[in-house]
Structure formats: C-alpha cells, structure tokens
Amino acid sequence: METFGIKESLSVLGIKKVNPGASTGIKWLKTSGKIIESYSPADGMLIGSVRATDPKVFAAVVEKSKQAFKEWRKWPAPKRGEVVRQIGEALRKYKEPLGKLVSYEMGKSYQEGLGEVQEMIDICDFAVGLSRQLHGLTMHSERPSHRMYEQYHPLGVIGVISAFNFPVAVWSWNSMLAWVCGDTCVWKPSEKTPLCSIACQNIVSEVFRVNNVPEGVSCIVNGDAVIGQLMSKHEDIPLVSATGSTRMGKAVAKTVSERLGRALLELGGNNAIIISENANLDMAIRGALFGAVGTAGQRCTTTRRLIIHEKVYNQVKERLKKAYSHLKIGNPLDPMNHVGPLIDKQAVKLYSNALGQVKREGGKFVVEGGVLKGAGYESGCYVKPAIAEVKNEYKIVQHETFAPILYLIKYKKIDEAIALQNGVKQGLSSSIMTNNMQEMEQFLSADGSDCGIANVNIGTSGAEIGGAFGGEKETGGGRESGSDAWKTYMRRQTNTINYGSTLPLAQGIKFNI
C-alpha cells in the first residue's frame, strides 16, 4: 500500500529546495559552481536544485578519495562486503520513496522506478557474495621448487559518469563492485537527474557513519561536461566508467587513453528483435511492446528495430498497431499509465526531427507519432510512441534516437535477418523470437549476433545483474555488473615464489659468473 507521496519521498530522502552538489561521503561541501535546477518532466514543476562542483572542490574531493583508498584497501574484503550488505538493507527500507523520486525526476513509470531500486538491491546482494570470491589462479612453473600464481589488488579511485535514464542503478553497478574490490568512488551523475544522486549519497552516508568507513570512499561531484572532462584528465583516477552517448564516450576514451588510464564504456544501442516465422507471436508482441515503449524509449537496450519474416510481417504489424492503440500515456506516478514523458524538451525536439527524417527518407508510418498537448501534458515532454516501415540502410535507422520510435523491416531468410541485425554501428543488445532450434543456435553462434547481449525468446531490455552487461562496436566494449566484470576494477599481479636454495633461470638460460 502506498505510504509516500512525492513531497514525503523528498523529505525522507533528505532532498531540499537547494542542495549542495559535492560530497565526500561524510561531509557536504560548499561549492561555487552554477545552480543546476531539476524540473520534473512529469508536470514541469521545479523539484529542487544543486550547486555544481567547481574545479577546486573537485580536486579536493579526488584527493580525499585517494587518501581514503589507502585505508579502505586494507579492510578485509568480506568486511567491505558487510558494509555493502547493509547498504542493500537500507535500499530496501527506502525503496518506495527512492523509486518515486526516480520516477518523478527522470520520467519513467513508478513501477520501473521501483524496478531500478530493486536492481540496486540485487547488485548489493551479488557484491556481498563476491566479497568472498575475489579469486586468482595458480599455475605450474617450469622451474623446480617454484610456485606461480595470479592475484588481484584494488585499483584505486574509480570515476563513475552516469546517464539520466538510469539515474541510480548504473552507479550502483559500478560502486558496489568497486567497494568490495577495495576501491573508492567519485560519482558524476547526470546534470538532468541530480537529486537522485543526493538521495543515494544520503542513504549510503548513513550506513558508512555507523561502520566508521573512511571519509572519501563514496564521493559525489555534480556538474556538467566540464566535471566529466576533469575526471577524464585526472591522473589519480585510474579507471573512468562512463555511460551515455557514443559521442561522449569517444571523448572520454580519447582523454583517458592519452594518460594511459582505463575507460569502461557503456554507450549507444540500436537493438533489434528478429521475429521468425517460427515464433510464438504472443511472446514476440509482448517483448517488442515493452522493449519499444518502456522508459519512453530511453533505454540503451530499447528495441528500435523489428526484423520480421515476410510470412508473419503483416500479422505482426497489425497486432502491434492494435497494442499501441491501448497504450496509456501520462504522469508516470499513475500506475494506470504505461508510458511517461521524455526527459526534457530537447529530447522532444530530437524525437520530432527523427519523425520528419523518417518521412523524408521514404518511411511509411504504421502508427503516427506526435507531441501531446493539453491537460496532463503541460510539461511539453509527452510524445506518442510511433511505428514506421523502413529500410535498414536509412540514415535515421542507423542512428540511435532516444525516443519511442519503432522501425519495421522485412526479411526472407535467417541469414539475411542476422545481417540486418548486425548492419548498424552499435552492438549492445539483440534478440530472436523463434521455436526453431537451428535458428536459435545460428543466432547465438560466432557468425550470428555481433552484440554483447544475445537473447532467445525474450526482448532486448531487462538484463539481469548476474550476467556481464555491455556491448561491442560503438557501444564501447565495456562490461559492468555480473559475471567477472569485477576484474575491471582491480589490477592483476603475477607472482612467482622460489622456495628452493638455488636460482635456476627461465627457459633454461645459463648465466655463469
């Protein structure tokens, strides 16, 4: 039963009308940066503001995090895991108000907001188990009385740049793993959703104080691209994890690589579902519908293309058209609505421009789009999910538009479908809907999908934290969350121990003096 309205949620999360934008985990810092105002795309109301971090404060935050690392890395990993376990418990306590803030500030449905907080809880659970499994390897030496092994050590200060569409979950993917690995974190959240970061820091700080965690393990530096550039350039930040556009990721990668640092990149997606003639169409329609309109098309894993076999093409098209007619668009806090707003009016402009380009390139709309106006849509950020019949080579189809526009493409043979799926610059998520085992296996083979995520009989969105998340090509090649993604946050060391009384050389080399 709902117990928190948005005002109550803001209050319990410690969100004020004006909030400091930088923190070292224990202290909030005075900064001289510009005021960043956060307006809800749901109703256009000003929720609150933060004071952006200035370069001097940024440098001080990184130094504090660097000093905290020297102590934090000495804590036993299971003890660090215990702190993360308590963060998971705190997130359970604040799940409802934090989910509501995510929904109100970003615009995704309240159920998706709750789902994002649940994802944070899940990664905490994963990280707690991981804290007792930071394993290395042993191997046999060619030299007698020698032992060789590999081990992993904490890397240092981890910079995290997150995007507006998942304002809290992506930060948690990075920070919870980094913390159990013994690293400290400096987080630059999206300037479009700054209040979510304030809420997260308040929740974490409460846990850290109880456990006497060193100040600087969890830091926040709100700001615009200038702060991201400072983070990318900083010599004391060995790893920068950046989530966002391909354009942004290329800039981060270039700057970080110039100082021989590491960049973990999670960038654009142009994801497709192949719907075979052998598909269960009920499942296919359900997967395509949520994949295309969930979060108003503002997921990196959003389904942007449907590649449909010619035998079922018209049936799929008509069923989608009918399903779209039942979509309810409106305030994301209303559980009866399926689709909320785009993040801001700039996103609406990009959406409208894309619709225009579809027509100019020869596309035919199955479901017309458009900007919604009138009562309930005063923020100017609500749009209609659209469907268009196109060709894969259209420039607009090759481009990722962060909005609910779904493209339909027809195919004859499975080889052609896979080629169409792979025929874009991005390589994040992909899916095939089929009950044919040969098609499944071909899609998952080395000459099948070229994406980091390849699914069978589920959609392109909704990845679980147990698997590594990320993609290839212009998606950036990074991996976050589950599997062995933790190794990214550590440095590998090979060790050889001679427990004998002589010093034989490798490769049988003789060096007598």
Active-site residue list:
266, 300
Tell me the pairing of strands 218-221 and 22-23: antiparallel
CB contact at 8 A, 218 and 139: no
Q: Which two tokens stand for residue 360?
A: 């100019």
Partners of 431 in the β-ladder = 273, 455
Three-class secondary structure of residue 135 per DSSP = coil
Give the helix/strand (H/E) hosting 248.
helix 246-258
CA distance linking residue 197 with residue 267, whole number of Å: 20
Residue 17 exposed, middle or buried by CB count within 10 Å (0-12, 13-18, 19+): exposed
Alpha helices (H) along 338-383: 345-360
Backbone angles phi, psi at 30, to 5 degrees: -80, 130
Residue 373 exposed, middle or buried by CB count within 10 Å (0-12, 13-18, 19+): exposed
Query: Hunting for tokens 């930040």 — which residue is that?
Result: 237
Tell me the pairing of strands 370-371 and 383-384: antiparallel
Partners of 267 in the β-ladder = none
Tell me the pairing of strands 262-266 and 184-188: unpaired
CA distance linking residue 273 with residue 287, whole number of Å: 9
Strands (E), 293-342: 303-309
CA distance linking residue 81 with residue 130, whole number of Å: 8
CA distance linking residue 225 with residue 231, whole number of Å: 10
How many CB atoms are located within 10 Å of the residue 395 CB? 9
Helix axes 246-258, 225-233, angle to 10 degrees: 30
Partners of 185 in the β-ladder = 158, 218
How many CB atoms are located within 10 Å of the residue 30 CB? 11
